[in-house]
């Protein structure tokens, strides 16, 4: 009996120690909770993180910053890329409206923030472009006279093009590579005598007119070749001051082989254009020659071109250069003008 009485007294004392709020106090507590609910912004950013007039109920987004403080979206995004929090940007802009300094506020919040590598690289690029712009101004005479605004493409690539071109206002290297061709495109579609290159869309037609049988396999095949790229107007550059006029120029092939525009005889020849020597090798293609008259750009080692030590003279024309095929020992001799004057095999058989 005594045990039950002691247990009951312990329960009564425990209940008496718990404070009870009155109905009026409970109602006031509920009213405070409804009138001042905790938002995500106020819960995340403590009171010491906000300025005096910072309303924690405001929903902070990039759009609200642009609308409230009249800044561009790009500027806000750039500040965020630097590593600044959106709420700090908000507070700094709000402080600036009150007469304070946005920069000082941000510096106090981020005293030791390292620079963003992306922005640092962009800054270096802008500095380099500004130097290039001073050396190669992009404004032309027309733009200076008529004050025409440059498009995005022009402002981006104009000065770079000038810088790459150097002192000349055209791409000299591209003009030198223009005549370079292969006898046949590596990928083409067509019939037995005609095919279309899948690389540049050019049409090529080959017609064999006759074959002269020679001694020990030194045959001569007279073949005509049409290439639509040769039938196009010639691209040329004239330096200096001259009057504007319309004129047409025959290509070298059209003058050298007067058998129709775009047609040539499949016979090797040399050609000098804009101070650069080229050689067309029958059945192979057109290649550039170096200053020492060495074959450039040919992928194999079976052909060797250079000055000849052989004494070859045909109708008063003397051989200066020779093209040797190491595999079959056949040589082609050219005079100083680049004309083919003789073909000789290793056994001394000749075609001239």
Q: Identify the pLDDT of residue 269.
A: 96
Q: pLDDT of 212-247, one tens digit each?
A: 988 888 899 999 999 888 777 655 556 666 666 666
Tokens of 311: 């004494």
What is the residue extent of each domain of the chain? Answer: 57-109, 181-351
pLDDT band at 196 (very low <50, low <70, confident <90, very high): confident
Q: Identify the pLDDT of residue 294.
A: 87
Rounded distance between C-alpha atoms, residue 326 and residue 319, angstroms: 19
Cα three-residue angle 26-29-31, rounded to 5 degrees: 110
Contacts of residue 251, defined as CB under 8 A and 6 or more positions apart, other chains included, come to: 230, 234
Q: Identify the pLDDT of residue 319.
A: 97
Average pLDDT value for the chain? 75
Q: Identify the pLDDT of residue 41.
A: 47
**Which residue is listed with tokens 């064999």?**
208
Between residues 340 and 173, which one has the greater pLDDT? Answer: 340
Instruction: Answer whether 212's CB lies under 8 Å from 206's CB.
Output: no
Kindly state the average pLDDT of the residues 286-296. Answer: 89
Q: What is the 3-state secondary structure (H, E, C) of 259-298?
A: CCCCEEECCCEEEEECCEEEEEECCCEEEEECCCCCEECC
Q: Identify the pLDDT of residue 40.
A: 46
Q: Identify the H or E element spanning 124.
A: helix 117-135
């Amino acid at each position: 009996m005594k045990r039950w009485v002691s247990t009951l007294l312990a329960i009564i004392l425990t209940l008496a120690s718990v404070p009870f709020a009155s109905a009026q106090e409970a109602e006031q507590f509920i009213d405070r909770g409804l009138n001042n609910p905790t938002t995500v912004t106020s819960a995340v950013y403590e009171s010491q993180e906000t300025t005096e007039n910072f309303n924690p109920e405001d929903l902070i987004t990039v759009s609200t910053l642009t609308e409230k403080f009249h800044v561009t979206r790009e500027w806000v995004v750039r500040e965020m890329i630097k590593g600044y929090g959106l709420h700090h940007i908000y507070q700094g802009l709000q402080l600036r409206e009150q007469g304070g300094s946005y920069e000082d506020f941000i510096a106090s919040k981020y005293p030791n923030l390292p620079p963003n590598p992306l922005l640092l690289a962009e800054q270096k690029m802008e500095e380099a472009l500004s130097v290039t712009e001073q050396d190669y101004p992009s404004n032309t005479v027309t733009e200076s006279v008529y004050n025409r605004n440059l498009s995005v493409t022009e402002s981006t690539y104009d000065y770079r093009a000038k810088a790459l071109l150097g002192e000349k206002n055209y791409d000299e290297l591209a003009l030198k590579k223009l005549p370079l061709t292969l006898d046949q495109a590596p990928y083409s579609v067509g019939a037995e005598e005609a095919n279309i290159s899948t690389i540049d869309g050019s049409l090529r037609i080959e017609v064999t007119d006759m074959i002269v049988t020679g001694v020990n396999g030194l045959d001569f095949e007279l073949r005509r070749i049409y290439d639509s790229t040769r039938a196009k107007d010639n691209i040329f550059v004239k330096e200096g001051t001259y009057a504007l006029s319309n004129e047409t120029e025959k290509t070298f092939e059209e003058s050298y082989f007067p058998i129709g525009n775009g047609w040539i005889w499949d016979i090797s020849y040399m050609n000098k254009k804009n101070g650069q020597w080229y050689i067309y090798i029958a059945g192979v293609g057109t290649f550039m020659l170096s200053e020492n008259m060495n074959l450039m750009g040919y992928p194999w080692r079976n052909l060797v071109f250079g000055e000849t030590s052989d004494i070859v003279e045909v109708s008063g024309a003397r051989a200066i250069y020779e093209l040797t095929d190491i595999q079959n020992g056949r040589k082609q001799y050219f005079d100083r003008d680049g004309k083919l004057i003789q073909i000789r095999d290793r056994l001394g058989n000749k075609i001239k």
